[in-house]
Structure 1
Amino acid sequence: MDLTAFAVFAEHLNFTRAAAELHISQPALHVKIRKLSESLGRPLYRREGRRLVLTADGEAVARFARGQRERLDQFLAEFAGAPAQRPVVLAAGQGAYLYLLGDTIQAALATTPLRLVNCDHRQMLAAVRGGQAHVGVSVLDVLPPDLTVRELASFPQTLFVPAGHRLAGRRSVRLRDLAGAALVVPPQHRPQRVMLEQALRAAGASWTVAVEAEGWPLISHFVALGVGLAIVNGCVPPPAGSAAIPVADLPPVTYHVVHQPSALTDARVAGLLDLLG
């Protein structure tokens, strides 16, 4: 079974690019993948429109193939007395990188090659499941049963208001206190936006959109400019001239660390997980 070829194919999901990386022809790669699929008795990929996607069995084989490839590289490097070159891959979103993971990344880079992937939580879970990432960090509404998950940190949701605003001196606020407010919010259909709309509606608080913004830094910037108020994760520092007030009737935001159950067998990955606490 040519697992190496399938691992490369799974990275690209494109026969042209995968064949080029393997330095073989496309027909030869097609033959390798077909023979592997036949030997396992399962289809490993399917076509969805113009895209190729792995089946669930294909993801499992790709994960095994990547792991085998990494273990071989590690063994050969150790056998030759040289440091392993393949990096540990960490997948997380912008907020986690900006406000949670800086110290961990600096500490890890002192001892381990590290590759960072910036992605949303769905892409993170897909990367960990498929073996493209060793460790993921994100806020998760539903915990995946097939992966090992633990809490990293939990924060209240907070309201950013200019220092001179009527709510600025409060120790906490409730959503009904925001009636009539203009809010800086994420674009429609983003999870944070959906959650806010549902919660404000349930609280009976009417509000308007001051501006839609992608990412906590831009949202914070608009608050600093006086464009509107914003509800953000409590790990985000308030911009200059603004106050951060916990929102009492919103649940805390919890970041989780995610990895494959077998990840601890890799000392490099185990080291990164130790640094994450």
Structure 2
Amino acid sequence: MNLDAVLAFAAFADRMNLSAAATDLHISQPALHSKLRKLGEQLGVPLYVRVGRRLELTAQGEEVARFGREIATQTRLFGEQLRDGGGSELSFAAGDGAYLYLLRPALRRFLAEGGTRLRLLTRDRDGALDAVRSGRAQLGVAPLQSVPSDVEARVLTTVGQMLVVRNDHPLARRRRLKLRDLAHCALIVPPEERPHRQLLARLLGAAGVPWTVAVEATGWDLMLSFVELGAGAAVVNGYCRLPRGLRGLPITELPVLRYHVFHRRGLKPAGDLARLARTLHAHADDWRERAG
């Protein structure tokens, strides 16, 4: 196998554009096209196909791209170690809410132990899965309703959902809520395309609960800030730490989120990667004390 062609294919897969990838590699577009064609012939499988005006990787192409990224990463790290004796590097993917409220103690502990650089990627659930599948991340954390067949996962923690209101809100005296209690609430919600908004709208609709959009906002912190201002109420994950003056009320009919630590199937975590996974699990429920 021509490893130079594998590295070139990984660069192409990151761009999905022959001209842009050729520019990155400082070669001509015909030369890159020839490399990729010969690599496909050598491997005996199609690496990408044209769908309309777009180029898309085949399943085999995804595997070759992942392999190429791993080679590129290991080559870069080896050079850095020779130059300055630096330690290894791990790449990790999770969402902004998980970083803010769920993973901070574990990541702080891991980084304090030193010896390993940690490249942190901010991705939503689908993005974290894609990063792990593609080799851009070795480990990921996200809420998974079911575990895809191409990853291996272990439950990290379970997180409920709550309605957050100001202390002067009519619902603030309640201990917990059902969906019907949200009738006619003005809710601060993410944009329509976000999974959290879609789930909430679907469940409220199925329960026949009328509600209105007070504000559209992205991110738990911004949503909570709007609650503080009095713009409305917000449904957020139970790990969020609430500012003074706000109250969180568990909603028993909303699904519990099961956060998983996951990696690509077939990868056997060892060394620093296994240490990172152990540290994540050791601090999995620290958020409960802080949130409470």
* TM-score, normalised by the number of residues in structure 1: 0.89
Per-residue Cα deviation, 1:135-168 (whole angstroms, up to 9, x for no partner): 1211223321110112122111111011122221
Paired position in structure 2 for 1:244: 248
The answer to whether residue 142 in structure 2 is matched with residue 126 in structure 1 is no
Q: How many residues align?
A: 276
Partner SS state of residue 161, structure 1: strand
Match of 1:97 in 2: 99
Alignment counterpart, residue 18 of structure 1, candidates 7, 14, 21: 21
Paired residues for 1:47-86 under 5 Å: 47-71=50-74, 82-84=85-87
TM-aligned CA distance change 1:117 to 1:49, over 3 Å: farther
Does 2:220 align with 1:206?
no
Q: Which residue of 2 aligns with 1:219?
A: 223
Query: Please, which runs of 5 or more residues in structure 1 have no aligned partner?
Result: none
Tell me the residue number matched to 1:228: 232
Question: Counterpart in 2 of 1:116?
Answer: 120
Q: Does the Cα contact within 8 Å between 1:263 and 1:269 map onto a contact in 2?
A: no
**Cα drift, residue 243 of structure 1:** 0.4
Would the alpha carbon gap of residues 8 and 271 (structure 1) be closer, same or farther in structure 2, given more than 3 Å must change? farther
2:284 is aligned to: none
Residue in 1 that maps onto 2:286: none
Look up the equivalent residue of 2:106 and give its one-letter code: T
Q: Would you say 1:269 and 2:273 are equivalent positions?
A: yes
Q: Is the 8 A contact 2:145 2:257 kept in 1?
A: no
Deviation at 1:95, TM superposition (A): 0.9
User: Separation in 1 of the partners of 2:254 and 2:207?
Assistant: 11
* TM-align CA RMSD: 2.3
Distance 1:49 1:224 in 2: 48
DSSP-derived class of the 1:99 partner: helix
Instruction: Return the match for 1:142 from 140, 146, 149.
Output: 146
Tell whether 2:141 aligns with 1:153: no
Which secondary structure does the structure 2 equivalent of 1:263 belong to?
coil
Is 1:5 matched up with 2:11? no
- SS, match of residue 264 in structure 1: coil
